[in-house]
Structure 1
Amino acid sequence: MDDNQFPVTTPVKSDSNTIAALTWVGGIFFGFIPSLIVFLLKKDDPFVLEHAKEALNWSITVMIGYAISAVLTVILVGFLGIFLLGLANVVFCIIAAITASKGEAYRLPYVLRLIK
């Protein structure tokens, strides 16, 4: 099995694909809030739950990166970090949303896996 994918044992429904994709898109605009809501409310759907966990882990990782970059703005390196983190957030969330809408599992690279 590929390291960037997690197992899904049940067939994926269209509603599940949509909710998982919207969780990722919501992460672009609202941070960790959409993924936390979906994580708490959709425990009965393993596909959506796995995407919500991954999106929540990604959001936490991005927030930590923003905090570090904010501290580093004192020496002007943080501005580059904030820009690159924002760009990576948009790109990875779009890739994950497209993958989720196809009904496929996706794991992002460089993520702190705090929620298991």
Structure 2
Amino acid sequence: LDHVGLHANSSISLAMHEAAAAAGRTIRLRIHVTGLDAMCRMIHNGLGVGVMPRRAFHLMHGVGDLACVRLADAWAEREISLVARDFSTLPLTARLLVDHLRARADTVAAPESALATAA
């Protein structure tokens, strides 16, 4: 099955290639694209299948008649972090957002915090 993939250093591409290598398989990449809208257009035109965040798929839904299947494999899980050079020097409104997100992360059952703090 041909694959339409994002650029080689994208987090999705790296995760897919690592999972394929761990399974002793390779990905049959037909084309690299620079963005999700281009990916949707290539898929719509029959060049293959692609992997993208579910939210992005719904935002791109107007690009063509495409179907979405949820992936449940561990490699498809995404961990997203909020990153700053120094959280203590952020403007008040940004610090309030960080505090809110940290409090929310503490209430969600997760093995690690959803926020990364940079030193």
TM-score by length of 2: 0.25
Structure with more relative contact order (C-alpha pairs < 8 Å, separation 6 or more): 1
For the pair shown, the structure with the greater C-alpha radius of gyration is 2
Q: TM-score, normalised by structure 1?
A: 0.25
Higher helix content, 1 or 2 = 1
